[in-house]
Amino acid sequence: MLREISEGHVRTETHDGVTSIEFYHPQSNSLPGRLLDALTHEVHGAGNDPNTRVIILRSAGSKAFCAGASFDELVAIQNADQGFLFFSGFAHLINAMRKCPQFVIARIHGRCVGGGVGIAAAADYAIAVDGADVKLSELALGIGPFVVGPAVERRIGLSAFSSLSIDATMWRDAEWARKRGLYMELHQQLSEMDESIDRLSRALAHSSPEAMALLKATFWKGTEHWDQLLVERAAISGRLILSQFSRNALHNFRKK
């Protein structure tokens, strides 16, 4: 299934129990609201599909995995309601990944910024290639990684999450991310990464759906309040993006 979105798409295919969900946007796979909504819809759909045993979440292209929030949409936000609606898109996607009964494997083929780091952290198993560096740039824009924060902190711990959040202009390399548990595997070549994803997804496709669902529920124990928490965090980001600091930061970024 292909969902065409203005300047982007979400494509879903299922073969032999493996559902691959691919997203694309020409601006470094950034995520506008409509793309976030489409991704969430497809994750929900795969989660409710009895033919799906495992989900692979990937992006198209050969450069960035995900540049995070769409810059154009951040600039266009004019009030707190619009801000809340936009950042809620990240909350809904992370919660969809968390709550679907299948394991989600993230294919990280390039750099991750902001919400892209959140997607990698919300996956049950992220496999990356060398060069898939990470950065949480939100503080530099006058907001903070409030919505993705719980997923990132859960995956890499408070200390590493704090360092990413505070030093918002600093890239951490893929090896840093692997050592802290954001990536479960790191490969030197794309072909090696894809071979590993294929091996794991095929193995999971032949595993017990009930056992995997119960195991996933065990892994995510203690996050049941995220339905409310992440939406509350979206309201914080939606308010902060309207500040004069954020307006100036977005203006300066656009001039670069």
Angle in degrees, CA 124, 107, 121, rounded to 5:
40
Q: Is residue 187 within 8 Å of residue 198, measured between CB atoms?
A: no
Q: Which amino acid is at 108?
A: I
Residue from 28, 222, 139, 214 nearest 7 by CA:
28
Measure the CA–CA gap between 219 and 117, rounded to whole angstroms: 19
Say what the pTM is.
0.95
For the domain made up of 2-190, the CATH class stated in words is alpha beta
pLDDT tens over the chain, length 256 residues: 655 566 799 999 999 999 999 999 999 999 999 999 999 999 999 999 999 999 999 999 999 999 999 999 999 999 999 999 999 999 999 999 999 999 999 999 999 999 999 999 999 999 999 999 999 999 999 999 999 999 999 999 999 999 999 999 999 999 999 999 999 999 999 999 999 999 999 999 999 999 999 999 999 999 999 999 999 999 999 999 999 999 999 888 776 6
Segments making up each domain of the chain, as ranges: 2-190
